[in-house]
Structure 1
Amino acid sequence: MGERVDALRAARRRAARRRRIVRVVAWVGMAGVLAGGLTAAALTLAGKGNRAAATATGPASPATGPASPALPATGPEGIALEDGTPLAPASTSATGRTIDGISCSASEQVAYHIHTHLAVYVNGSLRPIPAGVGLVSPVAEQTADGPFDSATTCYYWLHVHSQDGIIHVESPSQRKYTLGQFFALWQQPLTADQVGPARGPLTVFVNGRRYAGPPSEITLLPHEDIQIDVGTPTVAPQQVDWSKSQL
Structure 2
Amino acid sequence: MPSEPVSRISAVVFDMDGVLTDTEAVWDDVRRGLAAEDGAAWPDDATDRMMGMSTAEWSEYLATTVGLHGDAAAVAERAVSRVAERYREHLPLMPGAVAAVERMASRWPLGLASSSPRRLIDAILDMLDLTPLFRATVSTEEVQAGKPAPDGYRRACELLGVEPATAVAVEDSSNGLRSASAAGMRVVAVPHPGHPPAGDALALAAVRLGSLDELTPELVASLG
TM range (shorter): under 0.3
Give the alignment's TM-score, normalised by structure 2. Answer: 0.27
Higher strand share: 1
Higher helix share: 2
Give the alignment's TM-score, normalised by structure 1. Answer: 0.25
The structure whose Rg is larger is 1
